[in-house]
Amino acid sequence: MHASVSLHIDADPAVVWGLVSDINNMGRWSPEVFEAEWLHGATGPEVGARYRGHVKRNEIGPTYWTECEITECVPGEVFEFAVVFGDKRVNTWRYEFAPAPEGGTTATESFHLVDNVLTKLWRPLGGFLRENRNRRDMRRTLERVKEAAEG
């Protein structure tokens, strides 16, 4: 399962990247993640840093923590993290920031759920609903970042 959403933001890519890569802001942007905190002494975004996010699934529950590891981090260009269980990646979330031809930034958020037998069975039985929900929530996330970046 994979989906992506792009949105134009009238701000420099470095500014938009700074908003998204500050995990303390996740509760401001995400419809489901309402708080996040760095783990193991990490204090900022860099490859290998871990944090945990407090999630309220579908904005109604259940509520749980997920541990995430930053897997790609290029200021002004890319912020990517994987939801992990131990050292196993389950889902990867990626933000890309490109200068837009008309000025500002084209921001793209995407997710990629690990491809295995369970996800192949789950997708036609209801996983497609989750994919649609993620697409809608990614748009809401980028709209919230846009409002902050342009405000």
The yes/no answer on whether domain 2-150 falls in CATH 3.30.530.20 is yes
Contact call for residues 78 and 97 (beta carbons, < 8 A): yes
Q: What does the pLDDT average to over 56-81?
A: 92
**Global pTM exceeds 0.85:** yes
For the chain, state the CA radius of gyration.
Answer: 15
Domain ranges in the chain are: 2-150
Between the alpha carbon of residue 139 and those of residues 6, 35, 76, 108, 132, the distances in Å are 8, 19, 20, 9, 11
pLDDT digits (tens, 9 = 90+) for 14-48: 999 999 999 999 999 999 899 999 999 999 999 99
